[in-house]
Structure 1
Amino acid sequence: MKKIAVDLHYLPNLEWFSSILEAEEILLFPKDDYQRQSYFNRTRILLANKVETLSIPIQGRRPRLPLDQIKIDFSQKWQSVHLRGIQSAYGKAPFFEFFFPYYLPVFENHIESLWDFNHKLLTICLKLLRWPVKVSVFESKPVSSDFLEQRRLIVPSRPFWERNFYQPTAYPQLFGLDFEPNLSILDLLFCMGPEAGNVLQSSAKKE
């Protein structure tokens, strides 16, 4: 069984999913330290005239806090901003009306833990992709080392082409003449529906 240790991201991008394509089990670690400038609280979607980064505000900026202790800041109306952005970006996409209802209740609930929020969204993504991968959460350290370590690799500060996970395979997007690679998995799911898994298969770099 191929096991891969990964970071938990907010509606992960296509590189993240390409990186776990061959995994039978992915390992998540809620006791890892929170890292600023990460994908833990941000994702990218394609609007009519730009790529928009959606960021979830968090309470405080304390370093070395475990990921599962990071709380969402609900004093800011980020939920309505994110939902409006997603609806504006993908409301006319072919599979929006089928897939969006799965996500809406998670956004509408007042989930204080960013870890729990992201985990629920990831579960939905994997379900819609029809991926049978097992997701294991390790609450304590250490854990056996019979896995492939991929944590701290996919970060906003470094472009995807510097890593060996993802090679863009173009698919029809709603906006723009040029294909915009490596957006949130929402872009692929809403645009391609059941074919999303095939696009990811062809987007994974072959060693």
Structure 2
Amino acid sequence: MKLIHPTYFPNIHTFSFIANESICWELEDNYQKQTFRNRTYISTDRGKHILSIPIVHVGKEFGRQRYKSVALDHTYPWQRQHWRTLETAYRTSPFFEFYEDEIRPLYTQPFDLLMDFNLKTIEVILDCLQLQMPSETTSSYEDKPALYKDYRFLVNAKLDHDLHFEPYTQVFGDRHGFIPNLSILDLLFNLGPNALSYLKQGILPKTHG
């Protein structure tokens, strides 16, 4: 069983594990910046684009903040802005309208905590793919997990995994070429039910010389 952080509409690499492996969610760690906890990447007419969720930052005097207690910052209408960006980017994709009614409520319903929102984004995608949401979670933090394979490194937004992603048709592929390892939303809106077959084939390391 693999130990994974719940992230915002996980990228394809991370979601390939969620779709194919037994997963335990890491719920007891500290929040860290520069990770996929509050960001995901999509493809727009201008190329690779980040969707970043604003959070409520606590002062340094409170020490490290637990991931599960991180609150969403609704002083800016980020849900409306993210949904409009997704509509603009994917309205012409083959399967946007097919899944629109499942995805849109995430951007109209109120959420208080980042982790709850992230888990819900994953649950909705799994439901679209007719897969079960993993239910196992951690009850305490372990630096070196005894019972799980540690895949928490996947949350690091700066880590280069040097992987090969089989190209698929993207909305703006004629302008920017194939952009690999975007949010699972990119795969879902472009491939629809075939997204599961793509995830099942696995993501392989690049071959060298």
TM tier, shorter chain?
0.7 to 0.9
Alpha-carbon distance change, 39 to 61 in structure 1, aligned in 2, over 3 angstroms: farther
Alpha-carbon distance change, 100 to 48 in structure 1, aligned in 2, over 3 angstroms: same
The residue type paired with residue 152 of structure 1 is F
Which consecutive segments of 4 or more residues in structure 1 shift more than 4 A? 141-144
Residues 31-67 of structure 1: CA deviation (Å, up to 9, x unaligned): 2110111100000010012211000000015562111
Q: How many residues align?
A: 199
Q: Which residue in 2 is equivalent to 1:159?
A: 160
Residues 149-200 of structure 1: CA deviation (Å, up to 9, x unaligned): 1113441112231xxxx52011111103311100000000011001001112
Q: Which residue in 2 is equivalent to 1:189?
A: 188
Shift of 1:141: 4.4
Residues 65-108 of structure 1: CA deviation (Å, up to 9, x unaligned): 11110000000111111001100010111111111211211211
Matches within 5 A, 1:67-146: 67-132=67-132, 134-141=134-141, 145-146=146-147
1:18 correspondence with 2:16: yes
Q: TM-score, normalised by structure 2?
A: 0.87
Alpha-carbon distance change, 125 to 21 in structure 1, aligned in 2, over 3 angstroms: closer
Q: Which residue in 2 is equivalent to 1:53?
A: 50
SS in 1 for 2:165: coil
Unmatched 5+ residue regions in structure 2?
none
SS in 2 for 1:152: helix
Alpha-carbon distance change, 45 to 144 in structure 1, aligned in 2, over 3 angstroms: closer
- CA RMSD, aligned part only? 2.0
Of 24, 27, 34, the residue aligned with 1:27 is 24
Note if contact 2:170-2:190 (Cα within 8 Å) is conserved in structure 1: yes
Once residues 26 and 33 of structure 1 are traced to their aligned partners in structure 2, the CA distance between those partners, rounded to angstroms, is 19
Q: Which residue in 2 is equivalent to 1:204?
A: 203
Q: TM-score, normalised by structure 1?
A: 0.88
65-74 or 54-63: bigger deviation: 54-63
Residues 134-160 of structure 1: CA deviation (Å, up to 9, x unaligned): 331223346972321111344111223
Unmatched 5+ residue regions in structure 1?
none
